[in-house]
Amino acid sequence: MTTLDRRTFLALGGTSALAGVLGLSGCGPSGPPARRPGTLTWWDEFQPLETLQQSTFDAAAGASGVAVDYTVYDPAGLGSALQLAQQSGLMPDVFTNGFGIPAVSLVENGWVRPLDLPDDTLARFPEGTLMEGLHTFDGRLYSFPLFSSRQHVSLTWFDRELVERGGADPATGPRTWDEFRQVARRITRAGDAHGWIEGIGLTDRMRQHVVDLAAGAGAQLSFTEAAADSPGVADSRTGDYPFDGDEFVSVLEFLGSLVRDGVMFPSSTSLDVRTARARWAGGAAGLFLDGTWNVGVLNGQFPDFLPRVGVGNMPTPDGTVQAVNGPVGGAFWLSSATAEPEAATRILATMTGADYAAGMAAAMDQPPADADAVDRADVPELYRQAVGMLQDTVTPAPSPLVRNPAVGLVLSEMVQVRPTLGEIVQGYLGGNVDDVRGELRGYTDRLRAERDRAVGLVAGRGHDVSVDDWRIEDAASTSSTTTPTSTTGSPA
């Protein structure tokens, strides 16, 4: 079946575009199943939280009599399912934004409705947590963050035995690019394993790694929100796209040096992250970049390997980590078509509490927004160490979206530029790109032209937006907090 790029899906007219593509491909879907009366449908992509979610839903059903029909998707599968559900008029009652479009577009298109959380629930959010353009729109609350913004996906996970043999401190692992390269060479030369393995076939994850490492190399970045895709990352000083700058080129040259040294596990360029992790846990390589959830996955799938694992921060040119991330967007959105808004709101309210945060920490996925919950949870010390490392070294990046929510409308209009940053990385590490700076320059030029086009369209519809909104001279001016207003109705 043909699957549209999510931004293209919206830019080409959303459901009508999808219906046309499905018709041309000759594989029109039967559509999502119809809702059962008295049942909420809930779709998300948080597989490590599945047990916590199910227990939360079971408790809610016991209290209200409204059952939850719960489905956990992989991220790509969620996007396709949501597109089909929107096309068929059978959106789930609650969902995560798998469309891959800014939240302002969900609101502008009328696909979601505000939340009416009671005052005592709203009081749980620390000042600055709820931001206009991400969680509130015209002062009305639509969603809230579950996870901490103090995180990145490029921690250095390592087999302590192999790393020690490679000459690095098994307590910290390699800290600089040179040390990472040297340790990887020594592990490979010993003959028992390769130095480094990565799921380069998951190009979106490679994009995130490159952005993280470029920030660590000194790039001054802004993000529309946490882990923003390429159109949402900019040079905070100029507002321009930074991907042909020295920091990004040096990151690719560093990764390319690992290939030239022969330390990369063969076929890494076609592996997804799950397969790469499994190979790493099986002893195939010493070093692996990943996020905090790596502990939870290992604990569940490879418990015998976990005692051998160490963690360090991402490698940087000089060993000093300056990591940044954007603000975290809303986790769950309430469909405007839901027939059970009160029941859904009651469940969402429980997800703002301390018990739920402790359950998130125990699941060992992304760090919860309530970072203190990790101290209250029964988790391996390795997870606590990884989260603490991020809390100490990740700082908030400025966000043009928070300064001007119309930036989100521009991003929604932008059609994906190919090859993407992640695809360029994959091609370079696979030996299919020779002039990496030239390739990055071409990508940056195309991305800039596409943004200019989208800004013109959005401004032409009467919105006050320009490319100057990406230029942030005073990062403090981008932090915007709102007090949500009540919506009609109230949770029972």
User: HEC string of 25-46?
Assistant: HCCCCCCCCCCCCCEEEEEECC
36 vs 27: which has the higher pLDDT: 36
Q: Are residues 276 and 416 in the same domain?
A: yes
Task: Name every residue whose Cβ is closer than 8 Å to that of residue 476 and which is 6 or more positions away in sequence.
Answer: none
What is the structure's pLDDT at 22? 30
Q: Are residues 422 and 457 in the same domain?
A: yes
User: Hey, CA dihedral for 102, 107, 112, 114, is it positive or negative?
Assistant: positive
Domain stops at, among 317, 350, 368: 368
Please check whether residue 489 lies inside any domain of the structure: no
What's the start-to-end Cα distance of the chain, in Å? 42
What is the structure's pLDDT at 27? 36
Domain stops at, among 311, 339, 368: 368
The answer to whether 53 and 44 are in contact (CB under 8 A) is yes
In this prediction, residues 72-79 reach a mean pLDDT of 87
Helix (H, G, I), strand (E, B) or coil at 408: helix
What are the tokens at 96? Answer: 């995560």
The answer to whether 193 and 200 are in contact (CB under 8 A) is no
Tell me: the pLDDT tens digits for 210-231?
A: 999 999 999 999 999 998 899 9
> Is the pLDDT score of 474 beyond 70?
no
Q: Are residues 356 and 253 in the same domain?
A: no
Q: Are residues 62 and 48 in the same domain?
A: yes
- The span from the CA of 59 to the CA of 195, in Å, is 47
Q: Is residue 28 very low, low, confident or very high in pLDDT (cuts 50, 70, 90)?
A: very low
Q: Are residues 173 and 308 in the same domain?
A: yes
DSSP 425: H
Instruction: Residue 300: give the domain boundaries.
Output: 147-328+375-481
Residue 61 vs residues 64, 107, 340: alpha-carbon distances, Å: 5, 28, 13
- Residue 183: phi and psi, rounded to 5, are -65, -45
For every residue of 291-337, DSSP letters joined together read -THHHHHHHHH-TTTGGGEEEE---BSSS---EEE-----S-EEBTT
> Is the pLDDT score of 14 beyond 80?
no
Q: Are residues 238 and 278 in the same domain?
A: yes
Q: Are residues 386 and 476 in the same domain?
A: yes
Please check whether residue 317 lies inside any domain of the structure: yes
What is the structure's pLDDT at 77? 87
What are the tokens at 285? Answer: 């390589």
Tell me: the pLDDT tens digits for 441-456?
A: 999 999 999 999 999 9
Q: Are residues 41 and 165 in the same domain?
A: no
- CATH, residue 205: 3.40.190.10
Q: Are residues 166 and 92 in the same domain?
A: no
Q: Are residues 300 and 209 in the same domain?
A: yes
> Is the pLDDT score of 15 beyond 60?
no
Please check whether residue 13 lies inside any domain of the structure: no
User: Hey, CA dihedral for 214, 216, 220, 225, is it positive or negative?
Assistant: positive
What is the structure's pLDDT at 35? 55
Q: Are residues 154 and 263 in the same domain?
A: yes
User: String of b and e for 406-440 (b: at least 16 CB within 10 Å)?
Assistant: bbbbbbbbbebbebbbbbbbbbbbeeebeebeebb
In this prediction, residues 408-423 reach a mean pLDDT of 95
| Mean pLDDT, the chain, integer | 89
What is the structure's pLDDT at 36? 62
Q: Are residues 227 and 95 in the same domain?
A: no
Q: Is residue 242 very low, low, confident or very high in pLDDT (cuts 50, 70, 90)?
A: very high
Q: How many distinct structural domains can be found in the chain?
A: 2
Half-sphere exposure of 311 (CA within 13 A, CB side): 25
DSSP 397: P
What is the structure's pLDDT at 335? 97
The dihedral over CA atoms of 417, 401, 124, 144, expressed in degrees to the nearest 10, equals -30
Residue type (1 letter), 286: G
- β-bridge partners, 176: 316
β-bridge pairing 155-159 and 285-290? antiparallel
pTM: 0.88
- The span from the CA of 201 to the CA of 423, in Å, is 9
Please check whether residue 10 lies inside any domain of the structure: no
Q: Is residue 488 very low, low, confident or very high in pLDDT (cuts 50, 70, 90)?
A: very low
Task: Name every residue whose Cβ is closer than 8 Å to that of residue 251 and which is 6 or more positions away in sequence.
Answer: 210, 213, 214, 217
Residue type (1 letter), 469: D
- The span from the CA of 165 to the CA of 179, in Å, is 13
Domain stops at, among 341, 368, 395: 368
Please check whether residue 248 lies inside any domain of the structure: yes
Tell me: the pLDDT tens digits for 111-158?
A: 999 999 999 999 999 988 999 999 999 999 999 999 999 999 999 999
Please check whether residue 173 lies inside any domain of the structure: yes
Please check whether residue 338 lies inside any domain of the structure: yes
Please check whether residue 230 lies inside any domain of the structure: yes
